[in-house]
Structure 1
C-alpha cells in the first residue's frame, strides 16, 4: 500500500456497461485504484448518464462527471476536419466548451495526478502542466487504421479506404507528438509499443488487460451434442465484423465435421452480422453474462485479420479452458510460447483443419486448454496490472515534487 492520492481520470466513454474493450480496461483499473486512492472520474458522452451507470461506478469513484458533447458542434467540427492535422477521432471528441469545464474541474479538485485514457482525450489535459499526467495509449491506433485500410479491397469502398489511411497517418503523427506532453504512458502490449512512432517509446509502460478468473470458469464435464465454435466481441467493431464474416463465409464451409455450429456472441451486431445467422450460425446480440457462452463452447476461434491490441476475448476463453484457434493478430500480443497454448492459423483452410483436428483429439485439445489457463493465471491478473498503474502514479508524482 503506497501513498494515498487524489486522481483525476478522463475517458471518452462512461466505462459501463462493459461491452467495449476500453470500458472493460478502465472499469477494472478504477476498481483497483479506488482501493488505494480517491478517484474523480470525468467522462465524455453524447447521452445522459443512466442510474445503472452511476450505481455501477459509485463503488469506485468519489465523483462522476459526465460532460455531454453537442451533436451539432460535432458535425460542424467534422465538416472542417480535413483542414486540420488532428486525427478525425480527436476532432470528434474535442469540444472547446468541454475543455473549459475539464480545466475548471481539475482546478477545483486539485488532483495529485491525471490519467487520460486514449489519445482522443489528450487535448483536454495535455496543456495542464502543473499536474503530473499519465496517458494510456491502450493500443497503437494508427497501426490498426492502416491495417483496416490495407484490408479494404472493394472498389466502391475506395473513398473509405482513403479516409482510413488519412486517419492512420494523422494518428501516427499525433501519437508521436502527444507523447512529450505526458509524464508517463502505458500501452497494452509490447507489439503495440513497437508501433508507436516515437524515439523514446521504450519508456512506455506495458500494462496488459486482465481477466476475472472467478467469473470465467471451465464448464462442468458433461455430454455435449453438436460441437460449438464460439467467437465473441462487440459486433459493430470493424475487426470483429470482418472476423465474423471470415469465420462464417470462408472457414465454416471448409470444416469437415458435419454438425459443427457457430455462435457469434456480442453486443450491437451490425446488419451484415445478423445476416450471417442460419441453422448452423447463431447471432446472440447482447448477452448479460458472456461467461455462459464460453461454458457452452467446444472451441473458441478468433480469426482476426485487422486491428491491434491484446484481445480480452482470448483471455476470457483461455480462463474458461476453451481450446483456442487464433490468428497471429489475436495470439502474438499474449507474448506466450508459440506452441502448446493455442493453434495459430494464417488462412481459412488452416482454421478449418484445426477445428477438425481438435475435435478428433479431445484429450490433446483439453491439455492445450489447461496449459493456456495456467499461463494466463500468472500473467494476466487485473490486480497485478492495477498495481503497475498505481506504482506509475506514485513515480510521476514523486518526480514532480523533486
Structure 2
C-alpha cells in the first residue's frame, strides 16, 4: 500500500454495502484503501449507521462524519426553495463536516480527492482551500447516474405538487452536474448509456463509463444455506430496498399486472418481495394470495438461493442494477424489464431474459417455470457473464491509473 493520501468524500456512509449506492461506494473505497492511505468524510442520514463507524475506521486511515436526521433533511430541502439550489446539495452538506475536511487539508498534501455522488462535490467547491490548492489536485467525481434525468423521470410519473418538485430538482441539478464535469479532472458514470444521456446536455470529453461489479465470492451458488424444498417451488424473487420508490413502483406493477396471469397458469407460484423497510404499498401486497413480503433479511443470498427466477420489474431504472448482477452471480435466471437491463452486455435469451411489456413478462416466466433445464442453462450462462464482465477490481483499476498518473500540467 502507498503512503500517498487520498480523500474520499461520500454523501452517505460507504458501509455496510447493503443497498445500491453504498455497494458501489464501498467497493470503490475498499479498492482505494488497498492502494493508498484513505481518509473518509461522509454524511450519515440514518442514525442506525453510526454503529458501523468502527468497522469503517478499520478499513481506512481515518473517518470524519456528521449525522443528519430525516427532519433536518426535510428542512434543508424546504430551504432550497428559497436559496434556488437543488435540494440534493443542502440536504447532504454540513458546515461541521466542511470544517473537519478543511482542517484535515490544512496538514495533509493529498494526492487526489474523489467525491462520490454529486452533492459531495460541494465540499470541494466550498473549501477554503479550493482556489489556492484544490484546483491543483487531481479531482475525481463519481456521479454514478445522471440524477437530474432520474428526477425528470419521476416528474413524468407524478402529478400535482410532487410533479413540480421533481421537475424543479431536475432543472436545478443538471447545471450542477455540468459544473462538476467542467471543474473536475475526471467524472465517472456507471454506463455508456448514462454518458449518452449526459451528452444530450453538454460536453462529456472528461467523462468515463466505470461499470458496476459484483462480489463474485460472496454472491456465489452454495455460499448461503439453501432449502431444497423451497428451491423446488416456483418462487419468483424481487430484491432491493423496498422504501425506494422505483422498487415500490416495480413491485406493485408486477403484483397487479403480471403475477395474476402467471398464477392462472402456475397456481403454486410464489412472488417473494425481499428487502428492507417495505413501503406500506408493498406491505399491502401480501394480502394477495401467493405474495410474500419479507422485510429486512439478514442474508439476501438465502432469498436468492431459494428463487426459481429473479424478477426485476422496474419501470424507472438508471444505470446498472446491482440486484440484476447479484441474481446472475447466484446462477439464477433473471427476467428484467428493458430499463432494468440497461448498461449490460448480456445477451437476452442466453444470459438474461429482457422483456418489453407485462404480457411478455408473464408469458416468458410461465414458459421458464415449465422448462427447468432452460432456466438452469440461462442461470449458468449468467454466472459466466458476470465473471467475465463485472469484476470490481478489473473496473476499479482505472482509479489507480488516474491517481498514479496525477494531474498533468495541461489540466
* TM-score w.r.t. length of structure 2: 0.89
Instruction: State how far apart, in whole Å, the 2-side matches of 1:310 and 1:181 are.
Output: 25
Instruction: State how far apart, in whole Å, the 2-side matches of 1:74 and 1:105 are.
Output: 26
Name the residue aligned to 2:180.
178
Q: Secondary structure at the match of 1:341?
A: coil
Identify which of 208, 217, 220 aligns with 2:220: 217
Give 1:320 deviation, angstroms. Answer: 0.5
Larger RCO, structure (CA 8 Å, separation 6 or more): 1
Instruction: State how far apart, in whole Å, the 1-side matches of 2:121 and 2:66 are.
Output: 15
1:251 is aligned to 2:258: yes
- Does the CA-based 8 Å contact 2:240-2:247 persist in structure 1? yes
1:161 is aligned to 2:170: no
Give 1:225 deviation, angstroms. Answer: 4.0
Give 1:221 deviation, angstroms. Answer: 10
Name the residue aligned to 1:191.
193
Question: Which digits, 9 at most, give the CA deviation of each residue in 1:333-376, with x for residues without a partner?
Answer: 11333442222112211111111010111112211221121111
Name the residue aligned to 1:120.
119
Identify which of 302, 313, 325 aligns with 1:292: 302
Give 1:99 deviation, angstroms. Answer: 2.7
Judged with a 3 Å threshold, the aligned counterparts in structure 2 of structure 1 residues 289 and 73 are, in CA distance, closer, same or farther, namely closer
Identify which of 255, 277, 280 aligns with 1:268: 277
For structure 2, list consecutive stretches of 5 or more residues without a partner in the other structure. Answer: none
Instruction: State how far apart, in whole Å, the 2-side matches of 1:76 and 1:308 are.
Output: 27
Instruction: State how far apart, in whole Å, the 1-side matches of 2:160 and 2:49 are.
Output: 39
Deviating beyond 6 angstroms after TM superposition, the runs of 4 or more aligned structure 1 residues are 70-73
1:359 is aligned to 2:359: no
Judged with a 3 Å threshold, the aligned counterparts in structure 2 of structure 1 residues 329 and 288 are, in CA distance, closer, same or farther, namely same
**Deviates further, 83-92 or 297-306:** 83-92
1:238 is aligned to 2:245: yes
Give 1:191 deviation, angstroms. Answer: 0.8
Aligned-pair RMSD on alpha carbons?
2.3
Name the residue aligned to 1:45.
44
Name the residue aligned to 1:80.
79
Instruction: State how far apart, in whole Å, the 1-side matches of 2:92 and 2:50 are.
Output: 24
1:60 is aligned to 2:59: yes
Identify which of 374, 385, 391 aligns with 1:381: 391
Question: Which digits, 9 at most, give the CA deviation of each residue in 1:231-270, with x for residues without a partner?
Answer: 0011111111111101111110111211110111111111
- Does the CA-based 8 Å contact 1:89-1:120 persist in structure 2? yes
Instruction: State how far apart, in whole Å, the 1-side matches of 2:220 and 2:351 are.
Output: 17
Name the residue aligned to 1:109.
108
Identify which of 204, 207, 210 aligns with 1:207: 210
Give 1:285 deviation, angstroms. Answer: 1.2
Q: Secondary structure at the match of 2:59?
A: coil
Q: Secondary structure at the match of 2:42?
A: strand
Judged with a 3 Å threshold, the aligned counterparts in structure 2 of structure 1 residues 47 and 246 are, in CA distance, closer, same or farther, namely closer
Name the residue aligned to 1:144.
150
Name the residue aligned to 2:27.
28
- Does the CA-based 8 Å contact 1:151-1:306 persist in structure 2? no
Judged with a 3 Å threshold, the aligned counterparts in structure 2 of structure 1 residues 217 and 207 are, in CA distance, closer, same or farther, namely same
Alignment map for 1:298-309 (pairs within 5 Å)? 298-309=308-319
